[in-house]
Amino acid sequence: MVSSENRRKLLDISGEDVTSCYQCGKCSAGCAMAAMMDLLPHQVIRLVQLGQVEEALASRTIWLCASCLACSARCPRGVSLPNVMESLRVTLLRLGGRHLDPVRLPADVLENAPEQALVAGLRKYT
Amino acid sequence: MGYSYFPGCTLRAKARGFESSALASARVLGIHLEELANWQCCGATFPLQVDNSFPLVSPARTLASARRMGERLVTLCSACYNVLKRTNHVMRTDADRRDKVNAFIEEDYRGDLEVVHFLEVLRDDLGFDALARSVKVPLSGLAAAPYYGCLLLRPADELAFDDPEAPHILEDFLSALGCRVVDHPYKIECCGSYVALEPGELASGPSRMVVESARARGARVIVTSCPLCQYNLDVSQQGAHGRNGAGVPVIYFTQLLAIALGLPEDVLGFEGHVISPGPLLRSIGAMGSEATA
């Protein structure tokens, strides 16, 4: 009951039905950020399938997904995993949280990073 | 060949050389790019939340204004291309979201515009054969590695830019300029993107893999069309990674284009590189000794 409710909320945000994932792991195998992640991408999907959303929300992984879409391009089940990652991020952000404080960005990043990085990062992290 | 043109935020600030080299090259090649009268930042990343259409407002407004100027809108930056083309796809195919966005921006825009990348203009409208004939300074033998990253290629069904797993438009472009193309396995991998803002240089891991994959195969320069890829790949070579001449400069495809067309060095706009492209380009005679880089 609780599990399906959690899943439904994420489905409304992401538009992605995670129940079609059969855990082949292709997303994790090709993920450029996987080495830095605490949970691998397919493990995040598994948690969402099971409605164990709290554990997924606490993961570093959702902030390390760079939305590059390599996983969704290769998914044999047509799941857009980056949409699911975004639904987890915005679940926290819409509660008023923010993952990144722009005034705490290092001076060299503020000075040298392209505007595109700042705009995209603030869109994803605040 | 006439098009409306969207520069985007980064090309007016940190990536000025990308724009100045592109516009100077376009003039020489007879490609007329008319800047949109009213444009604003595209948002830099396409929103992946389907229950919130607000992030589509800014790119949709740009598209509606471009439609009044013609049927084709050109971009240079990979992120602008991705966001504008994906937003256009929503406006064309999703009636519910289109109505919401149109109500907000007080337009009746229906996605009847074509968003094209400048590389596509060179390939499809000018033609790479014609481009090769326009080359004044052949970059003969310059070992150049194409780097696509994500935003030009994915999602392939919406962007339809090139083969998403085995693209070749940059290879064909570099060949037309006379370069020796260096193929490498990480050319379509992500550089880490906006994770660059995370503490602890988390994005430099993927970026180093890309640079190393090109360098190990003999590339002397990496060529991109994305300011964030340029930054991430360049910055990942800070310190030991780029020392002792082992660094590989990362430059925009339009900068190589301008060099090959024999344009003055002041349009190149090399600034703030960790690995300066100057020594390399001077060593192959592509730039004079008074270069700014």
For the stretch B189-200, pLDDT in tens is 999 999 999 988
Nearest-by-Cβ selection for A12 from B48, B51, B155 = B51
**What are the residue ranges of CATH 3.40.50.11810 in chain B?**
127-283
Which chain B residue lies closest to A116 (C-alpha atoms)?
B44
pLDDT at B239: 81
Tell if the CB–CB gap between A113 and B198 is shorter than 8 Å: no
Interface residue of B77, B165, B197, B198 to substitute, partner A, most A CBs within 10 Å: B197
Share above pLDDT 70 across residues of chain B, in percent, rounded to a whole number: 96
**What are the residue ranges of CATH 1.20.1050.140 in chain B?**
2-118
Could you read off the pLDDT of A22-81 as tens digits, one per residue? 999 999 999 999 999 999 999 999 999 999 999 999 999 999 999 999 999 999 999 999
**Min distance B256 CA to chain A CA atoms (Å):** 20
Residues from chain A that touch B155, judged by Cβ atoms under 8 A, are 69, 72-73
Most distant pair of Cα atoms in chain A: their distance: 49
Q: What is the mean pLDDT of chain A?
A: 95
Residue B6, beta-bridge partner list? B75
* AA identity, residue B187: K
Residues from chain B that touch A14, judged by Cβ atoms under 8 A, are 48-50
How many C-beta neighbours within 10 Å does residue B74 have? 28
Q: What is the mean pLDDT of chain B?
A: 94
Assigned CATH class of B127-283: alpha beta
- Residue B146, preceding peptide bond in cis (omega within 30° of 0): no
**Min distance B155 CA to chain A CA atoms (Å):** 7
**Min distance A121 CA to chain B CA atoms (Å):** 5
CATH 3.40.50.10480 for the B2-118 domain, yes or no: no
Q: Exposed e or buried b for every residue in A56-76, given b needs 16+ CB within 10 A? A: beebebbbbbbbbbbbbbebe
Nearest-by-Cβ selection for A70 from B79, B150, B272 = B150
What ipTM was estimated for this complex?
0.96
Q: Is A29 on the interface with B (CB under 8 A)?
A: no
Pick the CATH number of A2-95 from 2.160.10.10, 3.40.50.300, 1.10.1060.10, 1.20.1250.20: 1.10.1060.10
| B240's tokens | 């030991």
pLDDT at A1: 47
Interface residue of A14, A27, A79, A116 to substitute, partner B, most B CBs within 10 Å: A116
